[in-house]
Structure formats: C-alpha cells, structure tokens
Amino acid sequence: MKAAVVVFPGSNCDTDCFHALKDVMKVPVEFIWHKERSFPKTDLVVIPGGFSYGDYLRTGAIARFSPVMDSVTKHAHEGRAVIGICNGFQILLESGLLPGAMLRNKTLEFICKHTWIRAEENLTIFTGQMEPGETLCVPIAHGEGNYYCDDETLKSLQDHAQIVFRYSSQSGEVREEFNPNGSRDHIAGIVNKKKNVLGMMPHPERASEEILGSHGGRKIWESILNAIG
C-alpha cells in the first residue's frame, strides 16, 4: 500500500498523519502540495486536519478550489480510498465528496479532548478490523465539528449504512452527554455511498501510539492496511 498526505496552506496535522503512517504503520507515504494538478497513483489519500486558508469564509470552503482537488476527486471516483480528518472532513463536505455541512460546536468553543466513538459497522475498508459496536478512544480538536444535514440526507445516510462512527460512552451508549459538539444523530464520521471516502472529526493519527495516551486510531490504519494490503 502507498499513501499520500495533501498539504494545503494552513494544514497542520499533515506531518502528524505522515508520521503515523510512515513511522508507526510503516506505510510508504508522500506529501502532495495543494498546487499540484496531478499526483502519482496512490492507494490512500489523506486530507489532514488544520486550518486550510485560515478557515476564512468557511472551514474548507477555499481549499476545495485548490488545484489538487480535481485529482483527489478523480482518485475517489476511481474507487480508491480517501480519508479526511477534521478540517479534511470539512473539505470533503465542501467539495461534495460527502454530503452535509458543519456548524459551530454547540458550546461555541473550540474543544480538544479524548472522546469515545462507536464503530457502527465493519463493512468499510476503514473499519474492517473492528466489531460493530466496538468503541475506540480517539481525540477531537475542533471548533466546527457539529455535523448537520437535512432529514432526507440523514435518512439516506442511515439507510445506506454510511454512518461509520458515533460519539458514545466508553461502553458504547449513545446519548447527548457523550456528544461533544451537538452533531446530528451523534455523527463522528461518515462514508460516501461507495464507502471508499471517509470523513471523520476525531483524529486517528493522534491515537496511534501508546505513549500519547490513546491508541484507538491505530485500528483505523490497521483496517485500511488490511483491506488494501
């Protein structure tokens, strides 16, 4: 498997994702500068977290016009894997690769802390190594992670098993008090209908090594590695 991490101006989890893939998971990985119109064929594209274009206008709203995004869309349409984390998720929403939009957190404050998320199903390349209902400890760090979509979209997400992660308690209960940002249906991560594009607010790259206090994110990398080989 080969991976690539896209770097926008203002990306700041790019080196973290690079480190998690290369040094922890031992996957060959390259950076792609956002001004590149094309990039060599790769199995996984990571759109990392950060503040692309300083979050000006709206989170992810400018990044989606970066030259590299056409190639990312092509890569996705060819059925290869894309994972957008945090600001990466926001960019995927803005670019239309995933449905929905982001609102400010319900507290109106930026929140950085460990959260528990429940894996809702394991039929995607991102969750193959999990049991449905299994919980993972993965940190969040965002000001706009309050996922929103209309009723019709939500129903479609539910019907097509596109909701991959929900915020929960450690034991897997899904309730308001375990949802840090007020997201609709406690959504922490969704996939597209083809299930090759994942957007999630929690940061798996921050939960890939024991020394950092949690390792739930590692299971996501392991699932991808296992699926792609």
Partner 1 sequence: MPTLDDKTTITPKLIAAHGITPDEYKRIQEILGRDPNITELGMFSVMWSEHCSYKNSKPVLKLFSKMNAELPHQENLLVKPGQENAGIVDIGDGLAVCFKIESHNHPSAIEPFQGAATGVGGILRDIFTMGARPILLMNSLRFGDLAQPVSQRLFRGVVAGIAHYGNCMGIPTVGGDVYFDSSYEGNPLVNAMALGIIKKNEIVRGAATGIGNPVYYVGATTGRDGLGGAAFASKELSDQSHEDRPAVQVGDPFMEKLLMEACLELLKTDALVGMQDMGAAGLTCAGCETASRASTGVEIDLAYVPRRETGMIPYEILLSESQERMLVIVKKGKEKEVERIFEKWDLHAVKIGEVTQGDKYRVLDSGKLAAEIPAKALADEGPIYIREEEKPAYLEETQKLDLGSIKVPRDFNQLLKKLLAHPSIASKSWVWQQYDHMVRTDTVFYPGHDAALIRIKGTQKGIAVSTDCNSLYVYLDPFEGGKIAVAEAARNVVCSGAKPVGLTNCLNFGNPMKPEIFWQFHSAVSGMIESCKMFEIPVTGGNVSFYNESPQGAIFPTPTIGMVGLMENIEKRVPSFFQNKGDLIFLAGETFNEIGGTHYLMMEHGLKKGLPPRLDLKREKALHQFILDAAQGGKLASCHDLSEGGLALALAECCFKSDQELGAVINGMGAIQEGSTGLRTDALYFGESQSRAVISVSPNHKDDIKRLAQKYGVKFYEIGVVNADSLVVEDRIHLTVQQMKNIFESTIPKTMERFS
Can you tell me which of 41, 79, 110, 132 binds partner 1, judged by CB under 8 A?
110
Q: How far is the CB of 138 from partner 1 (least distance, A)?
A: 11
Residue 200 identity: M
Question: Binding to partner 1 (CB under 8 A): which residues in 162-221?
Answer: 203, 205-206, 208-209, 211-213
Can you tell me which of 6, 13, 154, 190 binds partner 1, judged by CB under 8 A?
13
* Residue 183 to residue 148: CA distance in whole angstroms: 6
Tell me whether residue 105 or residue 192 sits nearer to partner 1 (CB atom).
Answer: 105
> Catalytic: 86?
yes
Position 139 contacts partner 1 (CB under 8 A): yes
DSSP state at residue 24: I
The answer to whether 161 touches 187, Cβ cutoff 8 Å, is no
Q: How far is the CB of 110 from partner 1 (least distance, A)?
A: 5
Position 57 contacts partner 1 (CB under 8 A): no
Closest CA to 16 of 212, 166, 165: 212
Strands across the sheet containing 163-168: 29-33, 3-7, 44-47, 81-85, 197-200, 187-191, 163-168, 111-119, 135-142
> Catalytic: 114?
no
* Residue 133 to residue 46: CA distance in whole angstroms: 25
Tell me whether residue 99 or residue 202 sits nearer to partner 1 (CB atom).
Answer: 202
Can you tell me which of 38, 107, 158, 226 binds partner 1, judged by CB under 8 A?
107
Residue indicated by tokens 């979050």: 55
* Residue 129 to residue 91: CA distance in whole angstroms: 26
Q: What is the chain's Cα-based Rg?
A: 16
> Catalytic: 173?
no
Tell me whether residue 53 or residue 126 sits nearer to partner 1 (CB atom).
Answer: 53
Residue indicated by tokens 């969040």: 140
- Which residue in the list 13, 17, 86, 149 is annotated as catalytic? 86
* List of residues contacting partner 1 (CB under 8 A): 9-13, 15-16, 19-20, 23, 35, 49-51, 53-56, 107-113, 139, 141, 143, 203, 205-206, 208-209, 211-213
Active site residues: 86, 203, 205
